[in-house]
Chains A and B, each alone.
Chain A
Amino acid sequence: MTGVWILAENLETGRELITIGRTLADNIKSDLTVITWQSELSQEYIAYGADKVLLLPALPQDQPLQSYIPVIAEQARQDMPEIFLLTSSLLGKEMAARIAGQLNAGLGSECTALRWIESEAALEMDRLFYGGAAVQSIRCSHAPRMATVAPRSYSPASRQEDKRGTIDELPAPQPSPVKLLERNARSQAAGDISEAKVVVCIGRGFMKQDDLDLARQLAEALGGEIACTRPISQDMGWLPEDLCIGLSAKKVKPDLYIGLGVSGQIQHLTGIRDARIIVAVNQDASAPIFAAADYGIVGDLYEVVPRLMQALSK
């Protein structure tokens, strides 16, 4: 048996995983292994707290990152880590589920907190379900206990100057039956709403696409970005999917979120729960967003937004 494994996709979420991975490794008095395919980061992960790095060799151009899954699963089958953590990115969630499928392992998805329960030798995991309307705690007592961890659940590990560790190479994967034809980075024309300090969110209260300028002007006045609810991107097609906030879309954590004509479905509220201040503008006083908001205005957004712009310009 080996201790705690984490799969690091990048330095940012990798350092978050090292924080909780290190804690759990200390709990079970074992060591922390980081798996990465970025050779340039191997020493970095050691400096941030890994005892060992397992380095995956670079892939040919036409191979997607998922091609690593069989190699990681095989190594896990041999070494049988007590705990194996990944980040709950799209890639992390897919890799975790497929590796768990190969190993018949218990896996907690998109966990917000992890604890070691000594008396049961169990990993306890907290996670949301029912679109965020409920939370559950689940325990897994058989190795490899697997979890994907929601980004920002833990603070990034700090650098230690004298940390030492070993680096081992993993074998190259067999060619995948899936061929990568094209990889397109998200267009940077629109800002990334998950990093925005101010988010102005467009809901069904908007009557036509031309009216979205009202929200754009408000976002501009506040130095923020516009975003939208699922019906606006999906049903109306007024804005790209990239700007959609929700459980299966983007999650945001701005200092200020202003929902304009947003009713507040639970999946949307789950996407904004980390906002520092939530302001809701909606004509319907019974809209669920008001209960989840710090400040609310019951009124017509077509009248409220211009007044808001005026008040801001003072």
Chain B
Amino acid sequence: MPDILCCYKWVADEAYIRSGSGGDLDLSMADYKISDYDKNAIEEAVLLAEQHGGTAAVITVGLPDDTKGIKDALSRGPEKAYFINDPAFVDLEPAQTASLLAAAIASPIPYDIIICGEGSSDLYAQQVGPRLAEKLGIPCLCYVQKVELNGSELIAHRKSDEGLEVVKVSLPVLLTVVPDINNPRLPGLRDTLAAGKKPVVEFTAEDLPSIDTAALATTATKAATIKRNSRLFDADAAGIEELVQELKNSGAIA
């Protein structure tokens, strides 16, 4: 009966990013969402709990206002949320987030398996999961695409640079999962209503040791425009022949 804890991040939706004056990053129009791959992490936690009769809970670090994310996460099936929040938790770097998570988990929060997404859809630094495992001193398996759990032993299929590795480890363990591990469920109205009644345990800065000073300083951010000439050709035979000629002239095709 494993206790499964899933970490997620509440992030600005990159679809709303605008390039402001001088190419500055403009997030003023941004809506927020659960980071894409964290939805797979939540789904896997819930699936494992359903299959093995354990518990699934979520944990996140954010600003006190990020309660919409808590409700969204709980509507996806976990039965409890741990919410580490403080007005000072703005633009935390991965090391700081991992330290806060580690401190809260050590407080203690019960776990046998911790699941993280392979990276967040904002920074995509892919550091919080592995750093958290090191802080907790537990084994870490990254890029997992399939999990088999037999009692206290876990077998994971993980993506490697050469292909695939199958590895075995005893619990506790931290996993980071890739998007092809599952298809996250879409919460219905009933799930959303139920989410509002689930317990939320809060941690604030006072409950935890002070966070490490930032090791990284951001010196510039800019909207990255992937912009090319966008020359359009007609969809008829003549237009397409013209395109083929152009591709030949440019040397793209022989």
Interface, chain A (partner B; CB < 8 A): 9, 64, 66, 89-91, 93-94, 97-98, 100-102, 104-110, 122, 124, 128-142, 176-187, 198, 222, 230, 233-235, 241, 247-248, 255-256, 266, 269-270, 273, 276-279, 290-300, 303-304, 307-308, 310-312, 314
Contact = CB atoms under 8 A, between A and B. Distances in A.
B252 A276 contact: yes
B140 interface: yes
A291 to B, nearest CB: 6
Contact of B119 (A104, A177, A248): A248
Contacts of A277: 247, 250, 252
Contact of B252 (A241, A247, A255): A255
A256 B249 CA distance: 13
Contact of B139 (A110, A178, A279, A291): A178
Interface of B: 12, 14-15, 17, 25, 37, 93-95, 98, 118-119, 121-127, 129-135, 139-143, 145, 155, 159-170, 178-180, 183, 212, 215-224, 226-237, 239-241, 243-244, 246-247, 250-253
Given A100-B127, A101-B98, A184 B163 contact: yes
For the residues of A in contact with B, the DSSP-based class is: mixed
Contact of B159 (A90, A104, A270, A298): A90
Given A139-B217, A234-B180, A256-B247, A308 B141 contact: no
A39 to B, nearest CB: 19
Given A101-B95, A295-B230, 8 more contacts: A64-B167, A109-B126, A178-B141, A183-B165, A186-B164, A234-B180, A295-B229, A312-B244
B78 to A, nearest CB: 22
Identify the interface centre among B95, B119, B134: most chain A CB within 10 Å of its CB: B134
Given A234-B183, A248-B37, A273-B226, A129 B124 contact: yes
16 contacts: A89-B161, A93-B126, A94-B140, A100-B127, A101-B135, A104-B215, A106-B215, A107-B125, A140-B215, A142-B215, A178-B169, A184-B163, A273-B226, A292-B227, A295-B246, A296-B231
B124 A131 contact: yes
For the complex of A and B, 10 pairs with smallest distance between CB atoms:
A299-B235, A106-B215, A101-B134, A101-B131, A97-B130, A186-B163, A182-B166, A256-B252, A130-B14, A109-B125
A9 B122 CA distance: 28
A248 B227 contact: no
Contacts of A108: 216
A173 to B, nearest CB: 14
A255 B230 CA distance: 17
Contacts of B243: 279, 295, 297, 308, 311
Given A109-B126, A234-B183, A310-B237, A130 B121 contact: yes
B28 to A, nearest CB: 14
B226 to A, nearest CB: 5
B233 A295 contact: yes
B164 A296 contact: no
For the residues of B in contact with A, the DSSP-based class is: mixed
A279 B218 CA distance: 35
Contacts of B178: 248
Nearest to B183: A235
Contacts of A303: 235
Given A109-B125, A109-B126, A138-B219, A90 B161 contact: yes
Contact of A266 (B15, B126, B234): B15
Contacts of A178: 139, 141, 167-169
